[in-house]
Structure 1
Amino acid sequence: MGHHHHHHGELKGRMAFSIVLNLVITIAEVIGGILSGSLALLSDSLHNFSDSMSLLASYFAIKIGERKANEKYTFGYKRAEILVAFINSAVLVGVSLFLLVEAYRRFKNPEPIDGPLMLGVALIGLAANLLSVLLLHSHAHESINVRSAYLHLMSDTLSSVAVVIGGILIIKWNITWVDPLVTVLISLYILREGYEILKESAEVLMEASPELDLEAIKAEIESIPGVKNAHHFHAWRIGEKEIHFECHVEVDDMPISEAQWIIDEVEKRLKRYGVTHVTVQLEADRCASKNVICEYFQVL
C-alpha cells in the first residue's frame, strides 16, 4: 500500500510540473502566433491549453479517486478517473475536428508567415512537450485517465513537430501548404486514438459488460459439486481494473454451512477471469428463467 501511494505521489508531482510547463508553452505560442501570423502556432497553443486542462482534470481525478468509500458513495470515487477520461477524449476529438477545419481554410487561403519566429517558438514548444511526454511515459498505461492525458501530450508533440517542419520549409522554400497537410495527418491520428478512449470510457460509464466469456463462466460454476444451474449474470466495471460480477446459483437442498463452500468456490474460480468482486445469490428452484442474462418483464 505504501509503495502504491509513493507511486501515485510521484505521478502527481510529474503531472503538476507538466501542467505549469504546458501553460507557459501556451502563452508563448499565443504571443508567437500573433506576432508571426502563424495559424499553426495558434492552433498548437489551443492544443497545449487543452493539454493543461486535461492534465489538471486528470490530477484532480486521481486525488478524488484516492478518497475512501462512504455511505453515499459505497463504491468509492474510482469512476472520477473514467469520467475525466471521457471528457478529455471528447475534447481531444473536438480539437481534432477544429484543426481539420482550420487546415482546410489554410489550404484555400494561405497567409504570409514569419518563418524564423514561427520556427523558434515551435522548437521551444517541441522541447517542452517532449519533456512532458518523457515525464509521463512510464505511467501512461496505469489507467485510462492517465492514458488520455498522455495522449493529449503525445498528440501535441506531433503537432509541434509539424509546426517545426512547416517553419523550416517556409524559411527555405516558402512552401506554406505543407503545414495544413501535416496538420490534417496528425488530426486524423488524434481523432482515431481519441475515439478509442472515448468508446472505452463510455462503455464503463454505461456499465457495459467487460470482455468476459459468460458461457464459459456458466460452465465453470455449474461444474462445482452441488450446483444445478447458474443464471441471471450481471458484470460491470466500477473503474478501469475493477470488475464486479453477480449471479443466481441454484443448488441442491443443503445447510447454509455447506452452501458457503459453494460461494467461496465460485469467487475463487471467477478470479481466474479477472473478476475482483463477486455476489452470489443462492436459490432452490426459484427462477423460472434459467438464462445467462436476466429477462425483465414489465407488467402493464
Structure 2
Amino acid sequence: MENHEHNNDRRLHHHDHHHHHSHLETGTVNGLNLVLTMLLNLLITVAEIAGGLLAGSLSLVSDALHNLSDAAAVAISLAALRFSRREATLEKTFGFQRLEILAALFNSAVLIAISLLLFKESATRLLHPQAINSSMMMVVGALGLLANTLAALLLRRDAGKSLNVRSSYLHLFSDALSSVAVVAGGIAIYFWQITWIDPLLTILIGLYVINESYEIVADTVQILMEGTPKGIKLEEIYTSIKSLPGIRDLHHVHVWQLGERQINFEGHIDLEQDISISESEKLRRQVEALLRDKFGIEHIMLQMEYEGCTGRGLLSCII
C-alpha cells in the first residue's frame, strides 16, 4: 500500500527540521530589496549606455548590457519568488516551485549569451582600435561601481536563501568587478593611451561571468532533470534502511529535488514477514524517521510490501 507523508506523525516532526543537505539556507527573501536593486540597475544602464556611446568605450557598453540583464534577472526573480509561493492546484499538483529554478537557468544562460556576443565585438576592437574618451569612461564607470556595489549589498543576505536570487546576486557582483575594470581601464587610457585595454577588459570580464554562471546552469539542469540531489548517497540510504529489523530489501527508489530545498523520496520496502497493516505502519514510521533525521529528507512516499516484486534492484521493480 502507498503511504503519503501528510499524516499526523510527520507533522509533529516537520516544524523543527531543515534540509541540511541543501546548499542553500531556508528563509524568506526580501522583496523590497529586489525592487530597489532592479531600479538601481535600470538607472545605471541608461547612464552607461549613454556614456559608453559618447565615450566610445565598449567595456562601458558591455557593463551597461550586463546591468540591463541584471534588471531583467531581478524582475524575473521577483516574479518567480511570488509565483513559487502559490498553493498547488489540480492542474499543478506540485505547485509552482520550479519557476525559481527556471528563472535561475534563464538568467544565467542570458548572461553567458551576452558575454559571447561581446567577445566578437571585442575582437573587432582589438584589430581596429578606436579613440576613447577616458575621462567620461572613468566617471561613468565609477557611478556604475557605486550602484552595482550597493545593489549587490542589498541582495547579499538573500543570495543564500534562493538559487534564483543567487543568480541575480552573481550578475550584480560580476558587474561591480567589471566596473572596477572599466575605471582602471579609463585610467590606463588617460595616462598611457592604451586603447586596446578596453576590449581586453571586456573579454576578461566575460570569461569570469561565464565561469561563474556555468555553476548555476549546472545546478539548475540537475534539478530539472530530477537528478539525485547533492549530498544524497543512495547506497548509504539503502544500507541504513536494510539494517532496520523486519526489513528485507529496499527497491524501486527515486530521489529528486522539486525546488531548491524540497527533497522527495519514494521507494518500495520489502518486509521479511507477512505482517498486519498496523505492524507495517510502525516500520514505515521508523524508515521515515531515519530518512528525515539522518538524510534530511522530509517528503517521503513508501510502499510497504511482502514479496511484491519478483525482480528487484535499487532503482527498479519488476512485477
User: Which category of TM-score, normalised to the shorter sequence, fits these structures?
Assistant: over 0.9
Structural RMSD (CA): 1.6
SS in 1 for 2:312: coil
Residues 310 and 318 in structure 2, CA contact (< 8 A), matched pair in contact too: no
Unaligned runs of 5+ in 1: 2-6
Matched, 1:292 2:311: no
Q: What displacement does 1:246 show?
A: 0.5
For 1:207-228, what per-residue CA distance to the aligned partner results, in whole angstroms no more than 9, with x for missing partners?
A: 1121321111111111111111
- Residue number in structure 1 paired with 2:245: 225
- Residue number in structure 1 paired with 2:299: 277
Q: What displacement does 1:90 show?
A: 0.6
- Residue number in structure 1 paired with 2:91: 72
For 1:69-103, what per-residue CA distance to the aligned partner results, in whole angstroms no more than 9, with x for missing partners?
A: 22222212111100100101111111221222222
SS in 2 for 1:140: helix
Cα separation, 2, equivalents of 1:229 and 1:202:
31
Matched, 1:102 2:124: no
**How is 1:15-164 mapped onto 2 (pairs within 5 angstroms)?**
15-164=34-183
Matched, 1:260 2:255: no
Q: 1:296 to 1:147 in 2, by over 3 A?
A: farther
- Equivalent position amino acid for 1:67 in 2: R
Cα separation, 2, equivalents of 1:35 and 1:92:
24
Residues 312 and 318 in structure 2, CA contact (< 8 A), matched pair in contact too: no
Q: 1:203 to 1:67 in 2, by over 3 A?
A: same
Residues 255 and 266 in structure 2, CA contact (< 8 A), matched pair in contact too: yes
Residues 116 and 206 in structure 2, CA contact (< 8 A), matched pair in contact too: yes
For 1:108-139, what per-residue CA distance to the aligned partner results, in whole angstroms no more than 9, with x for missing partners?
A: 11100111111111111110001001111111
- Residue number in structure 1 paired with 2:20: none
Q: What displacement does 1:296 show?
A: 7.3
For 1:228-255, what per-residue CA distance to the aligned partner results, in whole angstroms no more than 9, with x for missing partners?
A: 1111110110001111000011112111
- Residue number in structure 2 paired with 1:241: 261
SS in 2 for 1:70: coil
Percent identity between the aligned chains? Answer: 44
Cα separation, 2, equivalents of 1:36 and 1:296:
69
2:185 to 151, 163, 166: 166
SS in 2 for 1:233: strand
Q: 1:123 to 1:296 in 2, by over 3 A?
A: farther
Unaligned runs of 5+ in 2: 1-14, 16-26
SS in 2 for 1:279: strand
Q: What TM-score do you get using the length of structure 2 for normalisation? A: 0.88
SS in 2 for 1:290: strand
Cα separation, 1, equivalents of 2:137 and 2:204:
20
Q: What displacement does 1:199 show?
A: 0.9
Equivalent pairs counted in the alignment come to: 291
- Equivalent position amino acid for 1:112 in 2: A
Q: What displacement does 1:295 show?
A: 6.2
Q: What displacement does 1:33 show?
A: 1.3
Cα separation, 2, equivalents of 1:40 and 1:192:
19
Cα separation, 2, equivalents of 1:106 and 1:136:
34
Matched, 1:186 2:186: no
Superposed structure 1 runs of 4+ greater than 4 Å apart: none
For 1:10-41, what per-residue CA distance to the aligned partner results, in whole angstroms no more than 9, with x for missing partners?
A: x2101100101100111111111121111221
Higher relative contact order (CA 8 A, sep 6+): 2
Cα separation, 1, equivalents of 2:122 and 2:298:
47
- Residue number in structure 2 paired with 1:4: none
